[in-house]
Structure 1
Amino acid sequence: MNFFRSVRAVADASATGTGTIDWDAVGEAAKASVDPGSIDLSADERDGYATDVRDARDRLRRVAAVDFEVPEVVEVQNRHHWIDANVETFRRVMVPFEEHGPVFLPGLTRAVNTGTFALVLSFLGNNVLGQYDPLLLADNDDHGLYFVHPNIRRVADSLDVDYPRFRRWIAFHEVSHAAEFGAAPWLSTHLESRMERGIDALVEGDLDREAFRELDTAMTAVEGYAELLMDRAFDDEYEDLRRKLDERRRGGGPVAKLARRFLGLGLKRRQYERGARFFEAVADERGLAAASRVWDHPENLPTDAELDAPERWIARVSP
C-alpha cells in the first residue's frame, strides 16, 4: 500500500484534464491504498472454485427449475483486479452528472469527487467477497462473475470457519444471482430504466421517488429470491456462516460503520431480509416453482405493498 501515491493521485486530479471526476486517478488512488492480496492459488484451490461454480449451477437448475448459464467471464481476482473491473461501472453511472454542465471551482470539485470515489472503491475492494455483475448501463450484454480471493480467505480465517465451505457458500450466493438474471432476460433493462429515470431527475434537480421506489422493490426481489435459492439449494448447513458474517458486518470501528452507512449497505441488508421473508412465505404456501414465476415478466414483480403481504401477490400472480 502507498498512501502517499494515493493522495498524490487525488491532488493531481485537480490540475489535469477536464470533467468533474478523474477516473484514471480514482483507480490509481484506490489501488494505492489497498493491498492487492495474493491469488497464487494451488491446483486444488483453482479446481475448488471451478467445482463450486459448476455444482451451484447444476443444483440451482434442479431446485429452482430455471434454465440459465453462468457468465462466460468467471474470474478469481485480487483486490486491484476488482477495483479495475468496477471503475468502469461507476463511470457509467456518473455520466449524467458529469455532463450536467459547469461547476463552481472545477479544480476543487474534481479533486473532491475523485477522492470520494477512490475512498468508496478502496473500501469496497477491501471487503467485497464475490460479485455477480450484470453490467448495468453498459453497451453490451456481457455479465461477469467475480471472486475476490484474498478477501474470501481473510474473512474465512477471521470468522474461524472452514475456508473451502465458506468459499462454496459465496459461490452459491453469486450463482443464485446469475440464475435470476438468466431466468429473466428483461431484468437488466428493467433495473436500468429505473436507475436512469432516477439519475436523470437528480441531474435536473428533482427527485423521482417512484423510480427509486420501483428500483428498491425490484432489488428487494432480487436479493430475497437469491436468499431463497441459497436456503433450498446449498448442500450444507450454513446458518453459522450467516450469523458470523452478520456479526462481523455489524462490528468494526466507527470509520467502517460510517462507510457502510454512506454506501447504503444497511439498505442492502434490509432488502435481503424483507425479500427473503416474502419468498419464504410464497414458497411455503405454493412451492418454489410458484415463487419463480416472479421472473416470467416484469408485471410479476411484487409491489412494495405485496412484499409485506405475500398473500396478495399469490392471489394476483399464482391463484
Structure 2
Amino acid sequence: MGLFRSVQAVTGASGDGPVDWDAVGEAAKASTDPGSLALADGVREGYAADVRDARARVREVAAVEFDVPDTVEIQNRHHWIDANIDTFRRVMDPLGEQVGMLPGIARVANTASMSVALSFLAENVLGQYDPLLLAEGTDDHALYFVHPNIGRVSTMLDVSEPRFRRWIAFHEVAHAAEFGAAPWLSDKLEADLETAISELADGHIDRESLTALDTTMTSVEGYAELIMDRAFDDEYADLREKLDERRRGRGPIAKLIRRLLGLGMKRRQYERGKHFFETVADERGIEGASKVWEREAYLPTEEELDNPAVWLDRV
C-alpha cells in the first residue's frame, strides 16, 4: 500500500514549478516506515542529558563559546522528512528554468527523484544539526535525533543504544560549536551556495563556488569528527571502527543512491577533514584546531587540507 501511494503521489505531481513538493512529501512518507517513538522510561531525559553533557564537555575541551539551539527534537523518519523538505525546496526552486521542453514530464521525474532522495536519507540519518541555510526570518538553528535509526543502527553494530546515542550527540553538538564560535560561517556557506545555484540556474557550473563549498564542508565535518571522539567521555575506538565500516559497507543499490546524492563526497569530507584536524590537534591540541573558527581567513584552503603543516605555518 505504501509503495502504491508513493507512486500515485509522484505520477499525480502538479503545479507550475520543477517539483511538486507536496507530492514529494507524500511520496517520501508513503514509501518510508516512520519508525516508533514509543520511548522507554528515561530515554527522553537521556537525550537531554547527552546534549547538556556534550555542550559542557565540548566547551571545556575545545575552548570555544557556544550554545545549542533552542529547538532540539527527537524525531521519527516522517518528522525528519517534514523538517527537511523546505531545505530541498530552497535549493531546488531557483533551478526552475532548467525544467526543459516537456515540463510536465520533467516535473514528475524531478518529484520522483526528490522523494527517493528524502526517503533514503530519512532511513539513514542518525542526528542532524540544521543551520537552516537560505531560510528567511530569524528562526533558530535546530538539532534533530532520528530515534528509530539510532536504535536500528546500534543493534546492527552490536553496541549499547544509550552509549551510541550519546556519541552521536557529541558529533551534532560539535556542529553547534562550529556555527556558534563562527558567526560568519552560515553567511559564507549561504553565499557560496547561492552563487553555485544561480550559476546552475543559468546553465553554468561555477567550479570556484563548488570548490569553496566542498572545502568549507570538509572542515565542518572533519572538526565534528575530531570532537566527536576526543571530547567523548567514554571509550570510542570500537564505535569509530564499526561506524566507519558501516559507511564503507553499503549494498550496490545503496551505493548507487549515495553516489547520485553526492554522499560519497560526504564520506570523503569526513575522512579528509578528520585527518587534517587530527594532525593539527596532535601538534597544537584541540584548542589549536578550534582556531579555525576564529575568523574566515583561518579556514584551511584546498591545498592545506591535504598539507596541514602549511596551515600550521600560516596560522
TM-score class, shorter:
over 0.9
Is 1:314 paired with 2:312?
Answer: yes
Is 1:140 paired with 2:156?
Answer: no
The two structures have a TM-score, normalised by structure 1, of 0.95
Residue identity in the other structure for 1:120: A
The two structures have a TM-score, normalised by structure 2, of 0.97
Report the counterpart of residue 5 of structure 1 in structure 2: 5
Q: 1:56 aligns with which of 32, 54, 57?
A: 54
Q: 1:123 aligns with which of 98, 120, 124?
A: 120
Residue identity in the other structure for 2:29: K
Deviation at 1:200, TM superposition (A): 1.0
Report the counterpart of residue 77 of structure 1 in structure 2: 75
Deviation at 1:101, TM superposition (A): 6.5
Single out whichever of 238-247 and 67-76 deviates more from structure 2: 238-247
Q: Partners of 2:309 and 2:204 in 1: how far apart?
A: 35
Deviation at 1:307, TM superposition (A): 1.0
Report the counterpart of residue 110 of structure 2 in structure 1: 113
SS of match in other structure, 1:126: helix
1:164-203 correspondence to structure 2 within 5 Å: 164-203=162-201
Deviation at 1:221, TM superposition (A): 0.7
1:233-312 correspondence to structure 2 within 5 Å: 233-312=231-310
Q: Partners of 1:250 and 1:278 in 2: how far apart?
A: 20
Deviation at 1:10, TM superposition (A): 0.3
- Percent identical among aligned pairs is 67
Q: Partners of 2:4 and 2:84 in 1: how far apart?
A: 23
Q: Deviations over 1:23-53 (max 9, x none)?
A: 0000000000001011111231011101100
Q: Partners of 1:287 and 1:252 in 2: how far apart?
A: 34
Residue identity in the other structure for 1:140: G
Q: Partners of 2:264 and 2:205 in 1: how far apart?
A: 21
Q: 1:211 aligns with which of 209, 212, 217?
A: 209
Q: Partners of 1:246 and 1:164 in 2: how far apart?
A: 19
Single out whichever of 100-109 and 286-295 deviates more from structure 2: 100-109
Number of residue-to-residue matches in the alignment: 314
Is 1:45 paired with 2:33?
Answer: no
Residue identity in the other structure for 1:106: P
Deviation at 1:230, TM superposition (A): 1.7
Report the counterpart of residue 94 of structure 2 in structure 1: 96
Q: Partners of 2:29 and 2:201 in 1: how far apart?
A: 29
SS of match in other structure, 2:222: helix
Deviation at 1:297, TM superposition (A): 1.1
Q: Deviations over 1:278-318 (max 9, x none)?
A: 1112122222222111111111101111111112111211x
Residue identity in the other structure for 1:114: T
Q: Partners of 1:158 and 1:7 in 2: how far apart?
A: 30
Q: Deviations over 1:216-272 (max 9, x none)?
A: 111111111112212220011112112222222323432111111111111111111
Q: Deviations over 1:101-136 (max 9, x none)?
A: 763111111100000000000000011111000011
- CA pair 40-297 structure 1, distance change in 2 beyond 3 A: same
Q: Structure 1, unaligned stretches of length 5 or more? A: none
Single out whichever of 261-270 and 245-254 deviates more from structure 2: 245-254
Q: 1:28 aligns with which of 26, 29, 49?
A: 26
Q: Structure 2, unaligned stretches of length 5 or more? A: none
Residue identity in the other structure for 1:60: V
SS of match in other structure, 2:42: helix
Deviation at 1:20, TM superposition (A): 1.2
SS of match in other structure, 2:277: helix
Q: Partners of 1:140 and 1:231 in 2: how far apart?
A: 35
SS of match in other structure, 1:287: helix
